[in-house]
Every structure is written in structure tokens, then in C-alpha cells.
Structure 1
């Protein structure tokens, strides 16, 4: 996805908040990892790029 549209934000959302999984997701290209339950403020910050 990033190759075709590099400006696309990739946000991984999971019910598992494991730090290792989050780090791996970012290492392979995700812009952010958010665990459930989702904090709407945090999600909005990630989308806007202020996080």
C-alpha cells in the first residue's frame, strides 16, 4: 500500500496491546498501532498526525 500511495496512513487497531506487536507493526511500515478499547482522542491525533 505504501509503495503505491506513500502518503496513506496505515493504522493497526487490535484488541491486543502487546508492545512487541506494536513495535513490529511500526517496523514493517505501519504509522501507528492503537489497542482497543479505542481512545477517540488518540485515534484523532494519529489521523491528524499530531501524535
Structure 2
């Protein structure tokens, strides 16, 4: 049953999308950016909790 599978190899394998060099960032910068976003999210959650308590 598997021998007559006519799908063959993928022709897209050699042309995978790449990130342009001008859009790449250092791993440490990515970690700092993620930490900053998490901090902002935490502060927004705290503000929303305070709003809900005041109602």
C-alpha cells in the first residue's frame, strides 16, 4: 500500500523562509524584551484587579 504513494519529496525544502539580517536581534535583547512585556502585563492585571475591587 505504501509503495505506490506518489507524493515524493517536498520541493519547498530548499527554500524555507529566512529572517532578514536587519530584523534579527541578539538573544539577550530578546530576553529583555520578553521580560519587559511580562512586567507590563503584570502591572495591567494589577490595575484591573484594583478597578474591579472599587466597583
Structure ranking higher in strand proportion: 1
TM-score range, shorter chain: under 0.3
Structure ranking higher in helix proportion: 2
Highest relative contact order (Cα 8 Å, sep 6+), 1 or 2? 1
Q: Which has the larger radius of gyration?
A: 2
Structure-2-length-normalised TM-score: 0.25
